[in-house]
A and B are shown apart, each in its own frame.
Chain A
Amino acid sequence: MKKEITFRLNRKDYTIEVDPGARMIDVLRDQLNLRGTKEGCGVGECGACTVVIDGKAVTSCLVSAAQMDGRDIMTVEGLSETEIGSILQKCFIQYGAVQCGYCTPGMLMSAYALLLHNDNPTREEIRDAIAGNLCRCTGYVQILDSIEKARDEYLAKA
């Protein structure tokens, strides 16, 4: 069955037909061809599929397509267009947050959601915000460093 839904995605408006019971991650990846959002576990444990819905980080593998209706969604593909996102991306590159890069989109989205609501998080708050994003490569230290650098840079600009 198909159902029409309307939502905002990466600052653009969409109206599309979806299987309402499909997973949001599949709608993003296969219907909208936005494959920056990754699947690592399918059960909301690894955080690789994290997107931001109405300003909040959510694992898109556990969201039903119908629940995208009326929402304002941001994925990694839209990040460069945002001030916070582009600073985060730059700092991730510069301070060693990226290794294999598979957790990176989800990690960026969690960091983005954090800085949206808290422009001056402590290192512990950053840890807490990315605790739902597993990374097997980096040991997290340089990811935390990068988000701190991004915070400082964003604060300095603001």
Chain B
Amino acid sequence: MTTYTIGKSTDRIDAEAKVTGKAVFGDDARFPNMLYCKGVYAEYAHAKILSIDTSEAEKMPGVACVVTAKDIPGEKMFGELYIDQYPIADDMTRYLGDVVAVVAADTQAQANAAAKRVKVSYEPLPVLTVPEAAIGNEQVINPDYPDNICGGVHALKGDIDKSLRESDIIVEGHFETQFVEHAYIEPEAVTVIPSPMRPEVTVLGTLQAPYNARISIHRCLNVPMSQIIIRPSAIGGSFGGKIETAEAMSVRASLIALKTGRVAHYKLTREESIVESYKRHPINFDLQLGADKDGYIKGLKVKAIGDCGSYINMSPPVAYKVATLGPGPYRMDSLDYDCQMVITNNNHTGSMRGFGTPQAIFALENAMDMLAEKVGISPLEIRRRNLLANGDVSPCGHLLDFHEVSIRSCMEKAVKELDYERKYAEYKEQNKDPKRRIRRGVGIATTMRGASVGADGNGYDVSRVLIEVLPDGNVHVNLGLVEIGQGLRTTQAMMAAEGMGVSLEHVTMGETDTSRAPITGACIASRGTFVGGMAIRDCCDKIHKIMAEAVAKVYKKPVDDIVFENDRVRFADMDISFQDAVNACYSCDVNVTPTAVGTYYVPMLKWDGHTGEPFYTYTYSCHVAEVEVDLDCGTVEIIKMVGCHDMGRSINPIMADGQIYGGMAMAEGMAIFEDLGLDRKTGRLKNTNYENYIIPTAMDVPENVAIRNENPDPRSAFGGHSLGEPATEPGVGAITCAINMALGKAGYIRSLPADIDRVFFAGQELFGEKEA
């Protein structure tokens, strides 16, 4: 396919505003007479609220109002898929991030001071913070789920018992992962502007899923959807994190704005953001991997239990991705992958880049290395023997005959770049010396990532776009998929240029605005480029039809072979400019409107709840990592990572590389640093700001390498499918496999993070304490 715009590195359309400080982020909105909000947080992770006394707070200087759940006129709960989250806690608190009241005052300082005067009396209830203990506990958190299990997915293929029975080798292991913070550098902030004319609010701010926010405000505040206008600001990072929390804030601030008639500005401090926001799911895996004596996998059996925290949030779909993508890109006769999600009084857990798979791949890939060790072959060889190829059937039963199954070339390119084979041999030899204190290791992890939401969202995986071609020849795109830093607006513009057959300078992107862009599924699940691109293609095709009709009338020529390409429109023996074709539409004797709504929905996928075609298409990825472990103190240094991804086609290569680099760094943090310090007695997080919630700095991230292994996907409009999440998902597996190789024992460290304490004690256990 010849392309004119896509596939070429292009400057981001928002970069100029961002480097000059002009871009308006969540906390940057200011209006005259604006109110500042402050939430009052729960004192107990689980308690009955006996009473809330706001009278003293209301008398404080500058206070305009104090709202509680009683002020919410509509439903008391919201949620994306499961309606169980309280924007303001009503009768109970379910975790320490619950907000029980919100104060609004003329200044932030006044609001902060008044918030301290809200008096709440509680009757504390037992706090459940361990999922295994919560299952079937007599203390129920959400009465709709009396066993505290909110859902799960059980992926099944073949006869797992038979496969394990027939296996020569069975590897078993228990793996545990931690809560992980999205750690977007911008804390959540929203500003709500009420209309003086009618019950209407305009919500600005850090909203990754604007149409969902609209539903939530509608549900809780009884405002017609058409009179809830969501206009996301520039968003300072999200990674799946600015959905439910920001929505709860939008409901609270909208309530205040409607009540007072004043603009309500509501931002979180970093500590509030960490206390309130949802996290990556901690998941415990009990895994059995069976193979023949040569290491060819026969079956995988996994029982996974995830901590969904106080609200269901995205837990069942996360379980879906764990169970369907956790088995990796490997051939296997049978699969039994059961993932269940348990309600506790911890922070709720939801969307975060990878959506359950970085955890599952960490468990699986370490088990793969354990298998290799038992067979007596290298981690590279075990993967070579088992990786899927064209025409294979995926672990969940999907026949992969519709695109290039490129996982093998992804792995080979990545290992070559790292010089894996030489290093593996060299370090393996060095590590035989039990006295060696500074040790190196290399690790590999591979994944196949389902693009978009998958069969558990059958019928709901929709994207829409409105494109208007204006009289000046300008192609104006209104698309509600949000820019969260990944560069989506730029790729959308590039795809619109390509699809419309114009150069990029003729495309303008409307600010995301729910009153302008038609309703669309959210910018989640690495679906923006894929489904957004499909909708753009559909829309361009529709507009081309309208324009062809106009051109035929004006030029009186057949247009059966009309082509829109590179700012030209060719048909019959004509070669006119795009502007000429636009003029034809708006000419007084024709008057058609070159405007259309494009729609795309992912075809219904065959899925019976356990097996079938869990996703429409896949991204194949491999990360390899080299680490150095110091047994004297337990530090791990990442020497280098290589990420090789088949994103189908990279729409904008330099931005695609940026996704890969960023994904690897995020994986590094999860693998070796990040820990929120949950106190299991109280449900309290100890590490609520960046001095002790440790994410990688520029000094910690090495000279990583990004490789694009592009095989344009026939199932996608412009050949590109997903990259955002694939860029993170194999990294933790690769790093921990490398650490375990350095320790000389595959699968030794099975809990995250592999931080200095854990690595030090592992070294002590394996090699004894060195005599100083």
- Residues of chain A at the chain B interface (Cβ within 8 Å): 30, 33-43, 45-46, 48, 75-77, 79-80, 88-89, 92-96, 98-105, 108, 127-128, 130-144
11 pairs, A vs B, C-beta closer than 8 Å: A38-B27, A46-B185, A46-B690, A77-B20, A98-B19, A99-B662, A100-B238, A102-B236, A105-B19, A127-B698, A134-B690
Chain B residues closer than 8 Å to A92, beta-carbon distance: 15, 19
Instruction: Give Cα distance in the complex from A34 to B21, angstroms.
Output: 8
Residue of A whose beta carbon sits closest to that of B14: A101
Map CB proximity to A onto B670-710 as digits: 1 under 8 Å, 0 otherwise.
Answer: 00000000000000000001110001011101011010000
In-complex Cβ contact of A98 among B15, B27, B661, B704 (8 A) = B15
A142 pairs with B661, CB closer than 8 A: yes
In-complex Cβ contact of A93 among B11, B237, B661 (8 A) = B11
Residue of A whose beta carbon sits closest to that of B664: A139
Known: A80-B20, A89-B20. A142 touches B690 (CB 8 A): no
Known: A99-B487, A144-B698. A36 touches B20 (CB 8 A): yes
B187 is an interface residue with CB less than 8 A from chain A? yes
B185 pairs with A134, CB closer than 8 A: yes
- Residues of chain B at the chain A interface (Cβ within 8 Å): 11-12, 14-25, 27-28, 30, 182-187, 234-239, 269-270, 484-487, 654-655, 657-658, 660-666, 689-691, 695, 697-699, 701, 703-704, 706
Chain A residues closer than 8 Å to B22, beta-carbon distance: 36
Known: A36-B22, A37-B21, A140-B661. A100 touches B698 (CB 8 A): no
Supply 16 further A-B pairs (C-beta < 8 A) apart from A36-B22, A101-B15, A130-B698.
Answer: A40-B186, A40-B270, A77-B21, A79-B20, A100-B185, A100-B186, A100-B238, A102-B184, A103-B185, A108-B19, A127-B698, A128-B699, A133-B698, A136-B662, A137-B237, A138-B658
Instruction: Give Cα distance in the complex from A142 to B27, angstroms.
Output: 26
Residue of A whose beta carbon sits closest to that of B661: A139
Known: A100-B186, A139-B661. A45 touches B689 (CB 8 A): yes
B236 pairs with A101, CB closer than 8 A: yes
Instruction: Give Cα distance in the complex from A92 to B239, angstroms.
Output: 22
Q: Which 8 A-B pairs have the closest CB atoms?
A: A36-B21, A100-B485, A102-B236, A101-B18, A139-B661, A139-B665, A76-B21, A45-B690
Chain B residues closer than 8 Å to A100, beta-carbon distance: 184-186, 234-238, 484-485
Residue of B whose beta carbon sits closest to that of A127: B698
A137 pairs with B485, CB closer than 8 A: yes
A142 pairs with B658, CB closer than 8 A: yes
Question: Separation in Å of the B690 CB from the closest CB of chain A?
Answer: 4
> Interface centre among A43, A76, A80, A139, by most B CB within 10 Å?
A139
Chain A residues closer than 8 Å to B21, beta-carbon distance: 34-37, 75-77, 79, 105
Chain B residues closer than 8 Å to A104, beta-carbon distance: 18-19
B703 pairs with A101, CB closer than 8 A: no
A94 pairs with B486, CB closer than 8 A: no
Question: Separation in Å of the A39 CB from the closest CB of chain B?
Answer: 7
A138 pairs with B661, CB closer than 8 A: yes
Known: A89-B19, A136-B666. A131 touches B658 (CB 8 A): no
Chain B residues closer than 8 Å to A89, beta-carbon distance: 19-20
Instruction: Give Cα distance in the complex from A20 to B524, angstroms.
Output: 45
Question: Separation in Å of the B243 CB from the closest CB of chain A?
Answer: 16
Residue of A whose beta carbon sits closest to that of B706: A141
B23 pairs with A101, CB closer than 8 A: yes
Instruction: Give Cα distance in the complex from A137 to B695, angstroms.
Output: 12
Question: Separation in Å of the B16 CB from the closest CB of chain A?
Answer: 6
Instruction: Give Cα distance in the complex from A51 to B543, angstroms.
Output: 48
In-complex Cβ contact of B234 among A88, A101, A131 (8 A) = A101
Instruction: Give Cα distance in the complex from A101 to B22, angstroms.
Output: 11
A131 pairs with B698, CB closer than 8 A: yes
Chain A residues closer than 8 Å to B660, beta-carbon distance: 139
B662 pairs with A42, CB closer than 8 A: no
Chain B residues closer than 8 Å to A133, beta-carbon distance: 698
Chain A residues closer than 8 Å to B690, beta-carbon distance: 40-41, 43, 45-46, 134
Chain A residues closer than 8 Å to B18, beta-carbon distance: 98, 101, 104
Question: Separation in Å of the A27 CB from the closest CB of chain B?
Answer: 14
Residue of A whose beta carbon sits closest to that of B19: A89
Instruction: Give Cα distance in the complex from A76 to B25, angstroms.
Output: 15
Instruction: Give Cα distance in the complex from A4 to B17, angstroms.
Output: 32
Known: A42-B269, A100-B184, A131-B698. A139 touches B19 (CB 8 A): no
Residue of A whose beta carbon sits closest to that of B236: A102
Chain B residues closer than 8 Å to A137, beta-carbon distance: 237, 485-486, 658, 662
Residue of A whose beta carbon sits closest to that of B11: A93
A41 pairs with B689, CB closer than 8 A: yes
B184 pairs with A94, CB closer than 8 A: no
In-complex Cβ contact of A135 among B30, B185, B691 (8 A) = B185
Chain A residues closer than 8 Å to B186, beta-carbon distance: 38, 40, 48, 100, 102
Instruction: Give Cα distance in the complex from A43 to B688, angstroms.
Output: 11
Instruction: Give Cα distance in the complex from A102 to B655, angstroms.
Output: 17
B185 pairs with A102, CB closer than 8 A: yes
B698 pairs with A101, CB closer than 8 A: no
Chain A residues closer than 8 Å to B665, beta-carbon distance: 136, 138-140
A139 pairs with B662, CB closer than 8 A: yes
Chain A residues closer than 8 Å to B658, beta-carbon distance: 96, 99, 137-139, 142
Known: A46-B185, A46-B690. A140 touches B237 (CB 8 A): no
Question: Separation in Å of the A153 CB from the closest CB of chain B?
Answer: 15
B12 pairs with A93, CB closer than 8 A: yes
A127 pairs with B27, CB closer than 8 A: no
Question: Separation in Å of the B579 CB from the closest CB of chain A?
Answer: 28
Chain A residues closer than 8 Å to B182, beta-carbon distance: 136
B701 pairs with A141, CB closer than 8 A: yes
Chain A residues closer than 8 Å to B699, beta-carbon distance: 127-128, 131
Known: A33-B30, A127-B699, A140-B698. A99 touches B486 (CB 8 A): yes
A134 pairs with B697, CB closer than 8 A: yes
B701 pairs with A139, CB closer than 8 A: yes
Instruction: Give Cα distance in the complex from A34 to B663, angstroms.
Output: 32
Chain B residues closer than 8 Å to A34, beta-carbon distance: 21
Chain A residues closer than 8 Å to B703, beta-carbon distance: 141
A43 pairs with B691, CB closer than 8 A: yes
Chain B residues closer than 8 Å to A96, beta-carbon distance: 654-655, 657-658
Chain A residues closer than 8 Å to B701, beta-carbon distance: 139-141
Question: Separation in Å of the A107 CB from the closest CB of chain B?
Answer: 9
B697 pairs with A38, CB closer than 8 A: no
Chain B residues closer than 8 Å to A30, beta-carbon distance: 30
Chain B residues closer than 8 Å to A102, beta-carbon distance: 25, 184-186, 234, 236-237, 485
Instruction: Give Cα distance in the complex from A108 to B18, angstroms.
Output: 11
In-complex Cβ contact of A76 among B20, B485, B487 (8 A) = B20
In-complex Cβ contact of A38 among B15, B25, B661, B689 (8 A) = B25
> Interface centre among B185, B238, B660, by most A CB within 10 Å?
B185
Instruction: Give Cα distance in the complex from A42 to B703, angstroms.
Output: 30
Chain B residues closer than 8 Å to A38, beta-carbon distance: 25, 27, 185-186, 236
Chain A residues closer than 8 Å to B697, beta-carbon distance: 131-132, 134
Instruction: Give Cα distance in the complex from A93 to B14, angstroms.
Output: 9
